[in-house]
Amino acid sequence: MKRRSSSASTRCAILFVLLLTWPGIASAQSRLRLKPIPQRHGFDHAAAPASDQQWSGWQPLTNQAPSGPNGVQIMIQGTDGSILVQAYDGQTWMKLTPDDKGSYVNGTWSTLASEPVARLYFASQIMPDDKLFVVGGEYSGPALIPDWSNTGEIYDPLTNKWTIITPYPDQPGCPYIYYFSGNTTSGSAKVNSVYPYTSGLFVGEGVFGPGVPNGATIASIDSSTEITISAAATQTVSANVITLSAYYQLTGCLGDDPSILLSSTKILQGDLVNGNTYIYDAASNSWSASGTKVYPDSSDEEGWTRTSEGMIVNYDLFYSIVTNGAYAEEYNPATGMWRSISPSAGTAKGTIPQLSGTNIGYELGASLRLQDGRVLEIGATQHNATYNPTTNTWAAAPDTIGTLNGIPCPFGSDDGPAAILPNGHVIFAADAGIAGFTSSGNTTAGSAVITGIPSTAILQVYWPVSGDGIPGGAYIVSVDSSSQVTISSPATATENGDVISWGGTYSNPAELFDFDPGKNTITQVTSALPDPNLPYEGSYPTRMLILPTGQLLFSDDSAQLWVYTSSGQPDPVLRPLITNVNYVGNGQFRLAGFQLDGQSAGAAYGDDDQMDANYPIIHMVDFSGDVFYARSFNWSKIAVGNAGYETVDFTLNPAITPGDYALIVSGAGISSFPTFIHISEKEVQGEH
């Protein structure tokens, strides 16, 4: 392989013109409160059919994900250009591969090996050996019970296999649990495949569940996965969810706490119940203690953001809420220590507005590094904040204001995704959870109609409703007039002037917003996206990912994904810069340059999911405009911004043939200008 000489200038010019049509170059494009598994509510969750039409930059993928009604949960960038995608059943994994022209809109799907343990809302990282690390889960195992799992696996895309890893260390103070799952067989008193534990169960404890006779108790604990109950089951149910008459405490717990990649084999992991942090070493499959957080609380509901200085910033959510202050911390990977960067403690300048609260379940939005080096913290309230690591200064960002029925209202990202486009704008999802309110209303026993409401102006179908005499789980079915609604269940009491709460955490609709750091503005942009599902769900089931093309991949939790192509160009000084590409033998190449990891993680969610993509993705384009993604690995630095000289290794796409190509490297959605290379027969064959 060699760089092209001036004699090839004509062919290079042709290639460059072809590249101008490729999006990556032409476009710039309770503290343990459970987040629910997305519910379909009975509305039509099938997204709009795909087509070739483009709506204001948004396009539906031509092919829907093979997850079907399970929909799409997390999306993670593979090092070969493909996208690893998990379904909301917690166990099905799929792969989206761009077509021959590099189009993700017209990409194809394949189904990968099922994960050994189903899990939702967990820590995840792509490692430099291109394997996927996952650990924890707010829900895991059969029936996806809420158990704050501490188990994990590593997925190898080359072998399409999962390997179980050493569980996260047991911690004192894990949550109490009052249910388990197991298989029942009609006519048998045995319950097998018990998950997660039998160690917390005891003989004589009452059990309740489908097909479990009334008054049944645990007769014996037979093994770590089997018990016998006092009466034979009347139904055969796989992964039967069985409720206990008493609580028992988990011994191992991690759940949905944040993680971040530190080195080629090491990942920093937060803790669910205390200020400890641990490092997982994939080389030894072991955990070791790292620095304890400055403030005495857990990492639950928090997100971690890497800065160009190499530090990791964390807004300390729980300590801020319980002390009515505003606290933050910074982790130094070189020392393994945390230090305060808090205005409230006097260790940082500026102010942090209230970003969350008890009324919205201690939830928080995404955290992302901006192209100017600041960190954006998106709040679950309408408030947002920025942090400047260079000056150690916090400041309020614009509030998130949307509209409900044409009326301006606060919106908040009480769990929700965000992604930074190549042009520097941040797109994020928020919902009307913070717009919930309390008013009076009249209920009649046996009637689902509530009258006498002072105003129904911003009420939405599917908003939760609670009050005296209103059954738990009730929600608005219809808004009938300016003073009347119909709810899903008849009231159980007649009350005049009943105090009624409307809406609350995760309330629909989900809306998309655009933060422009240059103008310091936030604007609502959902109207450009013809997604029929967003009006009926909160922001928490949605996910985002920045593609190597610089486009935004968006999921509303259905099987239909969308791609957004933004306008504008990235600042040229922010693009990756290729200085050299060499063939090192045995089918392996080494690319050298600067800013190969990009300017940020690309996309973020918070504690529940990590989809960091600050690593080099390499592709080549031939004279026909065909795109060939390489498999990259062994990137020399784990960084964002200008981290100095870097290298990354890669192997060719199996479809590559000898010839001339334009090579492009992308980091978190920002692409380099092309380098023109020649691939020889020897290099294709992988000879030394």
Number of H helices, E strands in the chain: 4, 57
Residues 128 and 130: their CA atoms lie apart, in Å, by 5
- Give the contacts of 378 (CB within 8 A, at least 6 positions apart): 364, 365, 366, 367, 384, 400, 413, 416, 418, 428, 430
Rounded to an integer, what distance in angstroms lies between the CA atom of residue 190 and that of residue 221? 10
> Rounded distance, CA 276 to CA 686, Å?
46
Task: Give the distance from CA 296 to its chain's centroid.
Answer: 26
Residues of 305-330 as b/e, b for ≥16 C-beta within 10 angstroms? bbbbbbbbbbbbbbbbbeeebbbbbb
Q: Return the half-sphere exposure (C-beta side, CA atoms, 13 A cut-off) of residue 126.
A: 30
How many of the other CB atoms lie within 10 Å of CB of 271?
Answer: 23
CA separation for the pair 279, 270 (Å, rounded): 9
What is the C-alpha to C-alpha distance for residues 181 and 141, in angstroms, rounded to an integer?
A: 8
Place of tokens 């200020």: 275
Q: Going by DSSP bridges, is the β-strand pair 83-87/2-3 parallel, antiparallel, or unpaired?
A: unpaired
Task: Compute the distance between CA of residue 673 and CA of residue 623 in angstroms, rounded to an integer.
Answer: 16
Q: Which of 117, 163, 114, 157 is nearest to 136 (CA)?
A: 117
Q: Name the nearest CA neighbour of 132 among 161, 171, 170.
A: 161
Ramachandran region of residue 558, left (φ > 0), alpha (ψ -120 to 50) or beta? beta
Q: What are 232-274's pLDDT values in tens digits? A: 999 999 999 999 999 889 989 999 999 999 999 999 999 999 9
Residue 324: the pLDDT is: 92
Q: Which pTM value belongs to this model?
A: 0.93
Ranges of residues in the chain with a pLDDT under 50 are 1-18, 20-21, 26-30, 41-55
**Cβ contacts of 159 within 8 Å, gap of 6 or more:** none
Topology classification of domain 176-249? Thrombin, subunit H (2.40.10)
Shortest CA distance to 398 belongs to which of 519, 566, 540, 504? 519
Residues 6+ apart with CB under 8 A from 48: 60, 530, 531, 532, 560
What the block records as the tokens of 551 is: 């486009």
d(CA 615, CA 609): 18
626-666 pLDDT, tens digit each: 999 999 999 999 999 999 999 999 999 999 999 999 999 99
Measured between alpha carbons, how far is 1 from 675 in angstroms, rounded to an integer?
12
